[in-house]
């Protein structure tokens, strides 16, 4: 037995300790007499450098450090839905019960409530041969939500016994002939992707309910999106809108280095909102990982891995999971902060040179997959990541590294935000690589003509932008009627099709059919007005405001009312150019 | 954590700017409070920022001139930096490190609290939603401040940010007459600025409800790092232990960030953007995130930090990182100031993220959101038209653009500008409506028929 390891140096979130001859990289240790959680990130001789996940102020040179032999893991099992965890997987409610209104270091609370009872219904019987990912049975985690209990990765054998009934998460529900026991809970190291059987093509859309996203820049289920935008451009509102309305079975929301009050808003709002698809509280399909900007920076670094592991776990059960991370820039900054303290040779703007590769492997954990195990099932993990470029400058390293790996980019523009044009997605900079794969679905499900309407809409926007530049030089009055009509229609597209209020009671989420109907109406308006102008009518004499009101009524109509409103608006179009103005 | 007893060491091993290097110290704790005694000079205080079994780095808070490591007696106190807190502090003026500036004896207070505080558990926070009437139309109407929010003012050199802050302090009324207090942290501001601000304060009778922490431009830079934390520790106690609604005004955060950079450079850290340390975001967050309301506790901490954008550049790291942490920003515009508009708030880049929770039915008026959106949309259009008019002339504009242009001018003069001082919320709303009513109904696309009808009915009913 060697001498006990002691703290030799404390600087910021890093602690150096020695002698620690036997430890491995990424091994966890209890640091100091308070038992703070730390992770070994560098080894030199018998001296280890640990990043500490909790407040290090007050930590003394000479306090003990004891390695745990385990990596940073999360306990997975029933009871995760609806929970709000910190970056290390500790439920915030339990932390409040433990240490009050303010967070203190060294609180040791489990992710899953060890005292809670669950009813387990087995899907297999004794004698069955099981392999990793096989469904042993189910637990009804929330009303109507079956939590599938899976054989953990790497375990196989013959079931000696399996019994239904009421269990806590750590009791044995089944056992293999070799003595391996199964419980409702299993552990997984968060930095390692969970295995899948196969990856599937990106050919179905992830419906966001946001017209500009679904229509112009759709993302596939299992795809990855980067949402870069300066502050105040509405990143958080978009992420929250998606968390509320996107078509997914489950949402994992990571508040990574963001605002405490914003999290309070989500926490007060989500339980009140109903999931339109199930009629139950939105919180029933949500897991939140919250690590606000003033919480320890190393835990912020870990929180994105924790979040993605939770998402993978439900994906493996065969669910379609959406992961929102707000924001990856804060994660990258945590990485930079830690690497600077390690005196790593810095890359661009002080970020470590491994920034891009870490980001790349994080994005790769998304995908639509054939889950491991039987019965056969598919799952998806769609990744939507907000990025906060300093000064709104997209050329900075984090944004650039994300753009290289993300399949779609929804770029937010401060100029649009200043005009209160929301979502402030810049249609000239944004793009999606999932168009090819998803357009056939839209053509089939939302209505034929989707592709064509999309193309025409973009052309009008583009032409509108060009004409606006010309008008700025020569004055709009010098333009032809036909061109001024394009300017007007481009404005209507922005207002009626692309603009959507996250706070509207009826329009916060738009079904694909309504999106197409609105686009078609504006295009039809353009056609009708152009015909009238061609027939000699002056633009001023066309009552576009009347038509606008009818189309706006479609936009503002709820899910039941819009088809009727769209019919009315179409009928009204026939009057364009015939009215007396 | 187990902090040990005081230990004294004769002689340190080196000094660089505000940093003192000490070898062979025993059981040093990160953040430990240090006193440095050099014969013939006043005692200095410091804080351990790097604790090691070989070398310990102490950040010295007071004047570094004459800091002689060889002759220094360094005492590790076994405690972390703490602030005296209590209701008794109200009415006092203290230095950035908590020493009396008002000729009175040092405050005894009710408790000693670590100045760094601890993060609030997000699940214990109450979502801020109580409207604070500041009397400033551009804020009340378009960028509503709510209790528990942190809403900074982004100013530029020579712009009247302190005047705006002073008028908010004067005018901000606590609804229902609840007890409230003001904590002011002057960080590196000049004696002239301090005096001007205090004069306004005194005249408004706000001084007897205030605690002042003044770190003046002539004070050691490094004290700037402690000053806002002292102020916030006092504010948290007043809010969460004494049940007061506390408004914390901090000026100027730019000086704070510069002090941070100075220390980082002295430590030879790897710099981030423009030489500021890579952890500046996290560091600022530990200040700004101390605003909020806690469940089951009556008080609140609302922050109104002021910062100067170097060269009016909003993309500079200081305003940029601040904007990412705070819940919006109030941006002052040089153009408006030049034209004599007060307060010169440029509403287009300004934003209050918590506005939606604080306005609407039961809080302000139901149509608040659409009314504000409409003003925003038309003003944005007006500003665009102004640019266009500069090229093609006003005569070259279309009718709609001409209307927007005129609206923009009137909006700046009559809505943003408040030559007569404070406006109540109904006065603010009315001022906005009167500008909107100059447009044909069809141009007001953001206003619903119901809101329009309600306004017309209210106007008909008014005398």
Distance CA B47, CA B45 (A): 7
Give the whole-angstrom CA distance, residue A59 versus residue A42: 20
Domain boundaries, chain B: 7-79, 83-358, 368-461
**CATH class held by domain A446-573:** mainly alpha
Q: What is the mean pLDDT of residues A50-55?
A: 90
Residue of A nearest to B294 (CA): A101
A232–B349 C-beta distance less than 8 A: yes
Q: Which CATH architecture has domain A76-109+197-434?
A: 3-Layer(aba) Sandwich (3.40)
Using the predicted structure, report yes or no on whether residue B3 has a pLDDT greater than 70. no
- Cis (ω within 30 of 0) for the bond into A375? yes
Edge-to-edge strand ranges of the sheet holding A165-167 = A145-150, A135-142, A118-122, A165-167
The answer to whether the bond into A76 is cis (omega within 30° of 0) is no
- B288-310 tens-digit pLDDT: 999 999 999 999 999 999 999 99
Question: How close, in Å, is residue B28 to chain A by CA atoms?
Answer: 5
pLDDT of residue A420: 79
Ordered by start, the domain boundaries in chain A are 6-71, 76-109+197-434, 118-184, 446-573
Longest dimension (CA), chain A: 98
What pLDDT score does B173 carry?
61
Q: What is the pLDDT, as a whole number, of residue B5?
A: 84
pLDDT tier at B2 (50, 70, 90 boundaries)? very low
Give residues with Cβ within 8 angstroms of A170, minimum separation 6.
A114, A183, A184, A185
Higher pLDDT, B85 or A475: B85
pLDDT at B177 (0 to 100): 73
Phi-psi region of A464 (alpha: psi -120 to 50; beta: other; left: phi over 0): alpha
Quick one: which of A517, A76, A498 has its CA closest to A312? Answer: A76
pLDDT at A195: 96
CB contact under 8 A, A292 and B29: no
Q: What is the pLDDT of residues B229-267, one digit of tens each?
A: 999 999 999 999 999 999 999 999 999 999 999 888 888
CB-based burial of residue A143 (10 Å sphere; 0-12 exposed, 13-18 middle, 19+ buried)?
Answer: exposed
Question: Which of A12, A100, A293 minimises the CB distance to B285?
Answer: A293
pLDDT (average), residues A174-190: 96
Judge: A61–B29 Cβ closer than 8 Å, yes or no: yes
In the structure, what pLDDT confidence band is assigned to residue B352 with cuts at 50, 70 and 90? very high
Is residue A220 very low, low, confident or very high in pLDDT (cuts 50, 70, 90)? Answer: very high
Greater confidence (B61 vs A112) lies with A112
pLDDT for the residue numbered A280: 85
B383-415 burial code (b ≥16 CB/10 A, e <16): bbbbebbeebeeebbbebbebbbebbeebbeeb
- Assign B1 a pLDDT band (cuts: 50, 70, 90): very low
Q: In chain B, what is the straight-line distance between the N-terminal and C-terminal CA atoms, in Å?
A: 68
Residue A137 has φ and ψ, to the nearest 5°, of: 170, -170
The band of B176, judged by pLDDT with boundaries at 50, 70 and 90, is low
Summarize the confidence of residues B432-456 as an average pLDDT.
92
Per-residue pLDDT band for B202 (boundaries 50, 70, 90) equals confident
Proportion of chain B above pLDDT 70, given as a percent: 98
Residue A276 in this model has a pLDDT that exceeds 90 = no
Q: Which fold has domain B83-358?
A: Rossmann fold (3.40.50)
Q: What is the pLDDT of residues A452-469, one digit of tens each?
A: 999 999 999 999 999 999
Residues A247-274: what's their mean pLDDT?
A: 88
| pLDDT top residue among A320 and A271 | A320
A-chain residues near B117 (CB < 8 A): 102
Region of residue B233 (phi > 0: left; psi between -120 and 50: alpha; otherwise: beta): alpha
In angstroms, what is the C-alpha Rg of chain A? 27
In this structure, CATH architecture of domain A118-184: Beta Barrel (2.40)
Please confirm whether the linkage preceding A423 is cis (ω < 30° from 0).
yes
**What rounded mean pLDDT belongs to chain A?**
92
Q: Which residues of A touch B329 (CB under 8 A)?
A: 231-232
Rounded to an integer, the average pLDDT of A84-98 is 93
Q: What is the pLDDT of residue B395?
A: 84
Task: State pLDDT tens for residues A139-157.
Answer: 999 988 999 999 999 999 9
Asked if A126 and A162 touch (Cβ cutoff 8 Å), the reply is yes
CATH T-level assignment (fold) for domain A6-71: Elongation Factor Tu (Ef-tu); domain 3 (2.40.30)
User: Is the CB of A262 less than 8 angstroms away from the CB of B272?
Assistant: no
Q: Which of residues 92-131 of A touch B (CB under 8 A)?
A: 92-93, 95-96, 99-105
Q: What CATH architecture is B368-461?
A: Orthogonal Bundle (1.10)
B355 with B149: CB under 8 angstroms? no
Which of A51-60, A136-145, A338-347 shows the highest mean pLDDT? Answer: A136-145
Task: Say whether pLDDT at B349 is over 50.
Answer: yes
Cβ–Cβ below 8 Å for A264 and B126:
yes
| C-beta separation of B116 from B110 below 8 A | no
CB contact under 8 A, A11 and B354: no
- Best of A51, A293, A339, A506 to disrupt the B interface (most B CBs within 10 Å) is A293
- What mean pLDDT is reported for chain B? 90
A581 confidence band (pLDDT: 50, 70, 90): very low
The answer, yes or no, to whether residue A277 has pLDDT greater than 80, is: no
Picking from A10, A363, A373, the residue whose alpha carbon sits closest to that of residue B52 is: A10
The CATH-assigned architecture of domain B7-79 is: Beta Barrel (2.40)
pLDDT band at A2 (very low <50, low <70, confident <90, very high): low
Scan for tokens 């005569």, then name that residue: B395
Please give the angle made by the CA atoms of A56, A60 and A66, to the nearest 5 degrees: 80
Would you state the pLDDT for residue B397? 84
Q: Give the pLDDT of residue B39.
A: 87
- Over the stretch A417-428, which tens digit does the pLDDT of each residue have? 888 788 999 999
- At B337, the pLDDT band (50, 70, 90 cuts) reads very high
pLDDT in tens, A7-29: 999 988 899 999 998 899 999 99
Segment 176-215 of chain A within 8 Å of chain B by CB: none
Å from A443 to nearest chain B CA?
32
Indicate if the pLDDT at residue B197 is higher than 70: yes
For residue B181, what is the enclosing H or E element?
Answer: strand B180-189
Closest CA to A407 of A532, A262, A220: A220
């Amino acid at each position: 037995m060697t001498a006990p390891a002691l703290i030799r140096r404390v600087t910021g979130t890093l602690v150096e300790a020695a002698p620690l001859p036997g430890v491995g990289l990424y091994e966890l240790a209890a640091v100091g007499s308070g038992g703070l959680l730390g992770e070994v990130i560098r080894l030199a001789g018998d001296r280890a450098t640990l990043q500490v996940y909790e407040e290090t102020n007050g930590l003394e040179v000479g306090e003990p450090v004891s390695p745990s032999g385990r990596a940073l893991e999360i306990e997975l099992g029933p009871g995760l839905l609806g929970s709000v965890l910190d970056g290390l997987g500790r439920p915030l409610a339990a932390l409040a019960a433990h240490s009050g209104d303010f967070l203190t270091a060294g609180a040791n609370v489990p992710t899953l409530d060890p005292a809670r009872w669950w009813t387990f219904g087995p899907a297999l019987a004794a004698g069955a041969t099981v392999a990793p990912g096989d469904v042993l049975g189910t637990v009804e985690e929330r009303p109507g939500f079956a939590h599938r209990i899976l054989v953990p990765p790497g375990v196989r054998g013959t079931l000696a016994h399996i019994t239904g009934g009421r269990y806590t998460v750590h009791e044995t529900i089944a056992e293999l002939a070799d003595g391996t026991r199964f419980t409702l809970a299993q552990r997984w190291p968060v930095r390692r992707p969970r295995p899948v059987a196969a990856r599937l093509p990106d050919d179905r859309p992830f419906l966001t309910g946001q017209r500009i996203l679904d229509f112009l820049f759709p993302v596939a289920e299992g795809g990855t999106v980067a949402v870069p935008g300066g502050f105040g451009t509405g990143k958080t509102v978009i992420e929250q809108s998606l968390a509320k309305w996107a078509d997914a079975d489950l949402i994992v929301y990571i508040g990574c280095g963001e605002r405490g009050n914003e999290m309070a808003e989500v926490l007060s709002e989500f339980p009140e909102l109903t999931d339109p698809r199930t009629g139950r509280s939105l919180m029933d399909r949500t897991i939140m990982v919250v690590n606000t900007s003033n919480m320890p920076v190393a835990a912020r670094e870990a929180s994105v891995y924790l979040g993605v592991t939770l998402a993978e776990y439900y994906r493996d059960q065969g669910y379609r999971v959406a992961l929102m991370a707000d924001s990856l820039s804060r994660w990258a900054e945590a990485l930079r902060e830690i690497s600077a303290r390690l005196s790593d040779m810095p890359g661009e703007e002080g970020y470590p040179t491994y920034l891009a590769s870490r980001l790349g492997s994080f994005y790769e954990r998304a995908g639509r997959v054939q889950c491991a195990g039987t019965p056969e099932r598919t799952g998806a993990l769609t990744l939507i990541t907000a990025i906060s470029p300093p000064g709104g400058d997209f050329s900075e390293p984090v944004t650039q590294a994300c753009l290289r790996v993300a399949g779609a980019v929804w770029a937010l523009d401060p100029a649009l935000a200043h005009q209160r044009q929301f979502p402030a997605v810049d249609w000239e900079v944004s793009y999606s690589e999932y168009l090819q794969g998803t357009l056939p679905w839209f053509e089939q499900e939302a209505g034929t003509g989707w592709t064509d309407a999309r193309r025409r809409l973009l052309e009008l926007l583009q032409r509108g932008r060009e004409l606006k530049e010309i008008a700025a030089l020569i004055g709009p009055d010098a333009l032809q009627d036909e061109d001024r009509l394009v300017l007007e229609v481009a404005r209507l597209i922005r207002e009626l099709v692309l603009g959507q209020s996250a706070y509207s009671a009826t329009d916060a989420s738009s079904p694909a059919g309504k999106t197409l109907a609105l686009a078609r109406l504006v295009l039809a308006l353009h056609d009708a007005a152009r015909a009238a102008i061609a027939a000699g009518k002056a633009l001023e004499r066309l009552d576009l405001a009347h038509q606008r009101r009818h189309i706006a009524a479609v936009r503002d109509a709820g899910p039941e009312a819009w088809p009727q409103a769209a019919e009315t608006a179409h009928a009204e179009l026939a009057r364009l150019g015939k009215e007396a103005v | 954590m187990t902090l040990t007893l005081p230990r004294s060491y004769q002689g340190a091993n080196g000094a660089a700017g505000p940093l003192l290097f000490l070898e062979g110290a025993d059981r040093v704790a990160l953040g430990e409070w240090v006193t440095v005694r050099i014969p013939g000079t006043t005692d200095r205080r410091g804080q351990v920022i790097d604790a090691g079994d070989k070398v310990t780095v102490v950040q010295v808070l007071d004047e570094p001139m004459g800091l002689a490591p060889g002759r220094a007696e360094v005492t590790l106190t076994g405690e972390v930096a703490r602030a005296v807190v209590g209701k008794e502090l109200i009415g006092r003026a203290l230095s950035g490190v908590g020493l009396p500036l008002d000729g009175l004896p040092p405050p005894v207070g009710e408790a000693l609290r670590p100045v760094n505080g601890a993060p609030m558990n997000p699940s214990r926070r109450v979502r801020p939603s109580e409207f604070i009437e500041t009397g400033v139309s551009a804020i009340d109407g378009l960028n509503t401040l709510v209790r528990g929010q942190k809403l900074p003012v982004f100013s530029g050199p020579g712009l009247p940010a302190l005047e705006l802050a002073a008028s908010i302090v004067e005018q901000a009324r606590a609804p229902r007459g609840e007890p409230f207090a003001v904590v002011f942290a002057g960080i590196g501001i000049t004696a002239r600025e301090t005096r001007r601000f205090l004069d306004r304060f005194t005249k408004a009778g706000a001084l007897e409800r205030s605690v002042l922490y003044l770190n003046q431009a002539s004070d050691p830079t490094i004290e700037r790092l402690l000053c806002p934390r002292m102020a916030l520790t006092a504010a948290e106690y007043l809010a969460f232990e004494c049940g007061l609604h506390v408004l914390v005004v901090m000026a100027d955060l730019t000086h704070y960030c510069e002090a941070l950079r100075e220390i980082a450079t002295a430590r030879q850290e790897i710099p981030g953007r423009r030489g500021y340390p890579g952890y500046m975001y996290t560091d600022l967050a530990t200040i700004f995130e101390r605003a909020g309301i806690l469940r089951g506790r009556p008080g609140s901490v609302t922050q109104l930090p002021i910062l100067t954008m170097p060269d009016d550049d909003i993309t500079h790291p200081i305003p940029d990182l601040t904007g990412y942490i705070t819940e919006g920003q109030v941006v002052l515009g040089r153009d408006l100031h030049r034209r004599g508009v007060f307060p010169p708030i440029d509403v287009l880049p300004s934003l209050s993220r918590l506005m939606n929770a604080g306005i609407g039915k039961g809080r302000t008026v139901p149509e608040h959101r659409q009314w504000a959106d409409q003003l925003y949309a038309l003003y944005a259009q007006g500003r665009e038209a102004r640019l266009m008019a500069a090229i093609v002339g006003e005569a070259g504009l279309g009718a709609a653009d001409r209307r927007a242009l005129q609206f923009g001018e009137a909006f700046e003069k009559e809505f943003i500008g408040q030559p007569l001082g404070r406006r109540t919320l109904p006065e603010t709303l009315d001022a906005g409506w009167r500008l909107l009513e100059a447009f044909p109904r069809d141009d007001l696309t953001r206003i619903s028929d119901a809101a329009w009808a309600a306004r017309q009915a209210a106007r008909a009913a008014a005398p």
